[in-house]
Structure 1
Amino acid sequence: MKPIRALALVLACAVPAIANAADIDGSALSVLWGVPFAGILLSIALMPLLAPAFWHHHFGKVAAGWALAFLLPFAAIFGASAAGVSFVHALVAEYIPFVILLTALFTVAGGIYIRGNLHGSPGLNTAILAIGAVLASFMGTTGASMLLIRPLIRANDNRKHMAHVVVFFIFIVSNAGGSLTPLGDPPLFLGFLKGVTFFWTVQHIFTETLFLVGVLLVAFYLLDSWFFRRSGEIRREDPTPDTGGPQRLGFEGKGNFILLLVVVALVLMSGMWKSDVEWVIAGAHVGLPGLVRDIGLIAVTLVSLWVTPRSVHEKNQFNWGPMLEVAKLFAGIFLTIIPVIAMLKAGVNGPFGAIVSAVTRPDGSPDPAMYFWAAGALSSFLDNAPTYLVFFNTAGGDPQVLMTTLAPTLAAISAGAVFMGANTYIGNAPNMMVKAIAEDRGVKMPSFFGYMAWSGCVLVPLFVIMTFIWFR
């Protein structure tokens, strides 16, 4: 039986109509429950290097296999009902909304073609990254990434070295740029839902963001200039040469800009609209605002496909490959991460109690530096949204206190969760999507550990400097 079919069978057998399912008690779990999650991470990291052909054709089955490695033992030990409730909660409350949003942004951004004779000079590349950093806080890191990654790759398609351009794009546009508003990154949106005011982050971590983005832009310009001046860097044949003389910068598929605004409005609406109307599906609560948002996003996706001229998709080389890769891999991640998040939520009483305890000073006061690194380190490998929420609650969970008396602590949590999502490909959803699009367009991207070498050399020293300046 294929793993995906087996997974479906587990779902069918293990999801009775349970309305009062209790959350998993993370304090009762062993760290061994984290093995499937570690397994899928190692598969993503190593299999493209050790068995590239197998991975390319079977990565979805590998992800499903690791999901079963968690679900089947969990069902055997804790019961089919508990496994079914966990499955449905991850599917309905987290994974489906996640994939719907990504699909909408992927489709809408893929329907916008930026025309013009774009040539990947260091100045142009740096300007695109800077524009993306600004857009990320207002249309989300995913939206900005999907809008700009294709024209950036196209502008540099006659250059020999392109991987560093995409790596810095992930650093700046897919992560750091989204740190100023709740629209920028999911952790900040969760804080907004918990009561943190809309402009709190821009007021309290603007300087840190400006420092990080500014230094990264300067470093990128210098590095890109070095590559640009090297002999043989520019190919004689441009895969997308100028045709018909100089072409003014412009856009095709402009209607998708309106749809992009609709996506932002739907996401913001789902956070601000309060309703008591909800449905319970095997213990997972589905509220009316979230349902309206998801239906609206599906409608936006279909409208975009309908109104976008075929020529725009052809020029963008639009296809569903990158979206399918991200959807399949994150299905496994969202399932295998269930016990890991439960163990974190158990706080000092759970297997990761040492990490939670480390953020508190001997006198009982919170240590912003430790919050910055703990939230950041876990956000590098786990979903940064629940990680943010864990440390938000560890610091007291009262938004009024956190925004005032404990403002340095909330700033550290926010900065760590957003900034350090750039440390790995899986730290933030657009990271892997940008990688998939780049590889689909022929860019030879660093491996999982190769990318971490980039982040370790470039980002980690900057985080250390930021710790001594702002989070002591």
Structure 2
Amino acid sequence: MLTVPLGAQAAEFDGSRLTALWGVPFAGILLSIALMPLLTPQFWHHHFGKVAAAWALAFLLPFALVFGPDVAAANLVHALLAEYIPFIILLTALFTVSGGIYIRGNLHGSPGLNTAILAIGAVLASFMGTTGASMLLIRPLIRANDNRKHVAHVVVFFIFIVSNAGGSLTPLGDPPLFLGFLKGVDFFWTVRTLLPETLFLVGSLLVIFYFLDSHYYHKREEMMPRDPTPDSRAIGFDGGINFALLGAVVALVLMSGLWKPGVVFDVWGTEVGLQGLVRDAGLVLVTLVSLRLTPAQVHVDNQFGWAPMQEVAKLFAGIFLTIIPVIAMLKAGVNGPFGAVVQAVTQPDGSPNVTMYFWITGALSSFLDNAPTYLVFFNTAGGDAQVLMTTLAPTLAAISAGAVFMGANTYIGNAPNLMVKAIAEDRGVRMPSFFGYMLWSGTVLIPLFIVMTFIWFV
């Protein structure tokens, strides 16, 4: 391995030295996302970035005072270079490329059509990522239903199915599975192992949605007298160059997992591999090419704008920073402040508790970033991909399913959730509040997860 030092080596950071109070800024930003749009909507709309920055500083400044500027800077650099910047670059590329594809023609949002779009999105999510599939289909789905009174439930089930559950079959689908792929999990292991669970969850959600949407569809005065989107040209695609660029995004992500050049740059204690730099540079290039080659009319027709991406970028910057001590405390294992959580996934005889792996990974993935949560429990279960794919396959299946499926429990469980919500609200859809959405997920998803537990995760 060639190592090129570019900065100071990071000081060791032991999460067992922390107390739960270090999680207050993370809890604060979550509560701000949940409550401020309800209590002070105007202030939140104009200043959510400042609120996120304030919570980030509420962690970072005391952390620098207690542990020293070097440790704080090293952890800040790690959060930016190893997690946030690659995360945002990939999301921006998928957002831009998907936003450059316009599905023309006025679809009419009947229960059958809506269910078909959700099913197609579930299939696409595992091959172009939950973000790519969400950004491709959410706009035409909203446009198809813009003459209906009840639309929020359509978007909620879209988040359940397309933005989360559908991405469970390949490492391209969701970041936790991609991290598993980088750790040595076979590319096709998830589809071989999680296909029954995915078919059950997606199939159940599609059936529930069809009957719920039919209920609303046949209500009196459900349809507006005039369709805001008049019938137009035959159904088809504009901005077709972006399909090729979408393929380039997939190729770059796969390349970063398969190509091992052995060149690593050390930036203040954070190792940045050459393959990651090539991937990110390629994704930036794809974004710029898409903006350059996509006809302006396509962006106009799609009502393409940067507001949803800006909201995600600012809020997740705060989340990725304030989550640093929370993840460190979890990584400390039984010796850390959250030792009881880690201990709960182990049986008295030392064997893994598959049920608890599913639920604890899922519960934390609902509020923490599901990628590092997956890694924490991947390592808690031993961290050996070959053992986890064979002897401990039920444990890895529980970790994978919990991280991917339960990301749908809240708006912040997975990045596409918040992006879809922002786009829907930008189009005039009155989406549920943070807790209102959790009422939907608690009513619809949790009972299905309980059934899945008794079938697969015991």
TM-score above 0.5, yes or no: yes
Is 1:159 aligned with 2:148? yes
Is 1:331 aligned with 2:294? no
Amino acid at match of 1:229: H
Amino acid at match of 1:74: F
Is 1:280 aligned with 2:266? yes
* Pairwise CA distance, 1:419: 0.3
Q: Distance in 1 between matches of 2:227 and 2:305?
A: 22
Is 1:400 aligned with 2:389? no
Q: Distance in 2 between matches of 1:151 and 1:188?
A: 28
Amino acid at match of 1:324: Q
Q: Distance in 2 between matches of 1:100 and 1:399?
A: 28
Amino acid at match of 2:64: A
Amino acid at match of 1:334: F
Q: Distance in 1 between matches of 2:432 and 2:394?
A: 35
* Pairwise CA distance, 1:372: 0.3
Q: Distance in 2 between matches of 1:223 and 1:193?
A: 40
Q: Would the aligned equivalents of 2:131 and 2:416 in 1 still touch at CA under 8 Å?
A: yes
Is 1:37 aligned with 2:26? yes
Q: Would the aligned equivalents of 2:55 and 2:318 in 1 still touch at CA under 8 Å?
A: yes
Amino acid at match of 1:348: V
Q: Would the aligned equivalents of 1:18 and 1:85 in 2 still touch at CA under 8 Å?
A: no
- Look up the match of 2:187: 198
- Look up the match of 1:70: 59
Q: Distance in 2 between matches of 1:393 and 1:135?
A: 30
Aligned partner of 1:144 among 114, 129, 133: 133
Q: How many residues align?
A: 454
* Pairwise CA distance, 1:364: 1.1
Q: Would the aligned equivalents of 2:106 and 2:143 in 1 still touch at CA under 8 Å?
A: no
* Pairwise CA distance, 1:17: 6.7
Q: Would the aligned equivalents of 1:44 and 1:448 in 2 still touch at CA under 8 Å?
A: yes
Aligned partner of 1:341 among 314, 327, 335: 327
Is 1:271 aligned with 2:257? yes
Aligned partner of 1:316 among 285, 296, 302: 302
Q: Would the aligned equivalents of 2:52 and 2:315 in 1 still touch at CA under 8 Å?
A: yes
CA deviations over 1:370-405 (Å, ceiling 9, x no partner):
100011000000111111111111111111111111
- Look up the match of 1:84: 73
* Pairwise CA distance, 1:272: 0.9
CA deviations over 1:389-427 (Å, ceiling 9, x no partner):
111111111111111111111111110010000000010
Q: Would the aligned equivalents of 1:274 and 1:289 in 2 still touch at CA under 8 Å?
A: yes
- For 1:205, what is the secondary structure of its paired residue? helix
CA RMSD of aligned residues (A): 1.0
Is 1:176 aligned with 2:165? yes
Q: Distance in 1 between matches of 2:126 and 2:396?
A: 18
- Look up the match of 1:4: none
Amino acid at match of 1:390: V
With normalisation by structure 2, the TM-score equals 0.98
- For 1:286, what is the secondary structure of its paired residue? strand
Q: Would the aligned equivalents of 1:26 and 1:342 in 2 still touch at CA under 8 Å?
A: yes
Amino acid at match of 2:313: A
* Pairwise CA distance, 1:18: 4.3
Q: Distance in 1 between matches of 2:72 and 2:388?
A: 35
Is 1:365 aligned with 2:351? yes
* Pairwise CA distance, 1:117: 2.2
- Look up the match of 1:440: 426
With normalisation by structure 1, the TM-score equals 0.95
Amino acid at match of 1:99: I
Amino acid at match of 1:307: L
Amino acid at match of 2:18: L
Q: Would the aligned equivalents of 1:120 and 1:152 in 2 still touch at CA under 8 Å?
A: yes
Q: Distance in 2 between matches of 1:230 and 1:169?
A: 21
Q: Distance in 2 between matches of 1:471 and 1:457?
A: 21
* Pairwise CA distance, 1:284: 1.8
Q: Distance in 1 between matches of 2:21 and 2:106?
A: 54
CA deviations over 1:327-372 (Å, ceiling 9, x no partner):
0000000000000000010011111110110011111111111100
- Look up the match of 2:45: 56
- Look up the match of 1:9: none
Is 1:262 aligned with 2:251? no
- Look up the match of 2:225: 236
Q: Would the aligned equivalents of 1:88 and 1:284 in 2 still touch at CA under 8 Å?
A: yes
Amino acid at match of 1:469: I
* Pairwise CA distance, 1:22: 3.4
- Look up the match of 1:223: 212
- Look up the match of 1:124: 113
Q: Distance in 2 between matches of 1:306 and 1:273?
A: 29
Distance 1:158 1:23, change over 3 A: farther
Q: Distance in 2 between matches of 1:76 and 1:191?
A: 35
Aligned partner of 2:90 among 85, 101, 117: 101
Amino acid at match of 1:280: D
Q: Distance in 2 between matches of 1:417 and 1:289?
A: 25
* Pairwise CA distance, 1:137: 0.5
- For 1:248, what is the secondary structure of its paired residue? coil
- For 1:442, what is the secondary structure of its paired residue? coil
- Look up the match of 2:438: 452
Q: Distance in 1 between matches of 2:284 and 2:457?
A: 41
- Look up the match of 1:110: 99
Amino acid at match of 1:215: S
CA deviations over 1:52-99 (Å, ceiling 9, x no partner):
000000000000000000011001111111111111111111111111
- Look up the match of 1:12: none
Q: Distance in 2 between matches of 1:248 and 1:95?
A: 41
Q: Which runs of 5+ in 1 are unaligned?
A: 1-15
- Look up the match of 1:210: 199
Q: Distance in 2 between matches of 1:258 and 1:17?
A: 36
Q: Distance in 2 between matches of 1:175 and 1:315?
A: 27
Q: Distance in 2 between matches of 1:22 and 1:259?
A: 40
Amino acid at match of 1:302: L
Q: Which runs of 5+ in 2 are unaligned?
A: none
